[in-house]
Amino acid sequence: MKLFLDTAIYEEVEQGVSWGVVDGVTTNPTLIAKAGMDHEEQVKRICQIVGNVSAEVVSEKRDDMIVEGRRIATWHKNVIVKVPLTSDGLGAGKVLAGEGTRINVTLCFSVNQALLAAAIGAYIVSPFAGRLDDINEDGMRVVADIVAAYRQQEIKTKVLAASIRNPMHVTQAALAGADIATMPFGVLKMLFEHPLTTAGQKKFLEDYRQARAASGSKADGGARAQPDERSEYRKMQEAKPVPSTAAEAATKR
Ligand code: E4P
């Protein structure tokens, strides 16, 4: 399962990409508004550092969405045009997909809606798990059912678990077989965290520094490695005189 960031904040994308774990970004009009940047400028900036950047149309009518979607598609080759799961959105998505544009159908809340997204040739469908949980439905169950239906029907549209609110959602999305999970930066950071990792790393470094201090060498993390760092076995081996002949070598054994 690929990990995407659900943000329009460049610095968050930059950080996630530097960690080597982020394969894409999803934006929506709310996230663009929160970032407080020009839509086109911000999407183009993000596309410079990561592939698979979803950018959503904000028109309401099919024909307007087609025009807008075509314009968004020219911003960058990494752009995926996002359309809502409405009849206008799907109508526009069908035309855009037919022209070779990658389409992400967003605001999906059921298996039947996901089948409609597949029918127009969407590259991605985005079921919103968190928003279903918010209304007392099981969002991850819907994600799992869409994955199962797509497998059964041999549908190639990728399932992107969206509206993720916590690390458990990420685990559940992976177990459900989602192709992608998109998450806020805060959730991505939490994926790294485990108390045993923190404690284990602290102890490793303490032990190493103590051993170095005891042997009188500098505990500098190896940045200025000294010859003394050879293992004891290696030091003994290297201290032995080199035998000059095979016979000498045999007598020394
Ligand atoms: C991503 O494509 C969606 O727009 C996003 O995950 C929605 O998340 P929210 O329900 O937390 O707003």
121 phi-psi bin (left φ>0, alpha ψ -120 to 50, beta other): left
The pLDDT assigned to 12 comes to 97
Tell me 112's DSSP state.
H
pLDDT grade, residue 226 (50/70/90)?
low
- CA gyration radius for the chain? 27
Q: In the predicted model, is pLDDT for residue 253 greater than 90?
A: no
pLDDT tens string 196-222:
999 999 999 999 999 999 988 654 555
- Ligand 1 touching residue 163 (CB < 6 A): yes
Gap from CA of 161 to ligand 1 centroid (Å): 9
Q: Tell me the C-alpha distance between 48 and 44, whole Å.
A: 7
- Ligand 1 touching residue 7 (CB < 6 A): no
pLDDT grade, residue 227 (50/70/90)?
low
Gap from CA of 20 to ligand 1 centroid (Å): 23
Gap from CA of 54 to ligand 1 centroid (Å): 12
Residue 65 CB neighbour total at 10 angstroms: 26
Active site residues: 82
Ligand 1 pocket test target in 46, 163, 182 with most atoms within 8 Å of CB: 163
Query: Can you say whether the dihedral through the CA atoms of 241, 245, 249, 252 is positive or negative?
Result: negative
The pTM for the full model equals 0.85
Interacting residues of 18 by C-beta distance below 8 A, sequence separation 6+: none
Mean of per-residue pLDDT scores for the chain: 91
- Ligand 1 touching residue 182 (CB < 6 A): yes
Query: If you average pLDDT over residues 13-25, what whole number do you get?
Result: 97
pLDDT grade, residue 246 (50/70/90)?
very low
The pLDDT assigned to 244 comes to 46
Q: Whose CA is nearest to atom 4 of ligand 1?
A: 28
Q: How far apart are the first and last CA of the chain?
A: 57
The pLDDT assigned to 48 comes to 97
Q: Whose CA is nearest to atom 12 of ligand 1?
A: 163
Q: Tell me the C-alpha distance between 221 and 102, whole Å.
A: 47
The pLDDT assigned to 85 comes to 98
pLDDT tens string 108-165:
999 999 999 999 999 999 999 999 999 999 999 999 999 999 999 999 999 999 999 9
pLDDT tens string 236-245:
666 655 544 4
The pLDDT assigned to 218 comes to 55
pLDDT tens string 54-106:
999 999 999 999 999 999 999 999 999 999 999 999 999 999 999 999 999 99
- Ligand 1 touching residue 51 (CB < 6 A): no
Ligand 1 pocket test target in 28, 107, 143 with most atoms within 8 Å of CB: 28
Q: Tell me the C-alpha distance between 185 and 21, whole Å.
A: 12
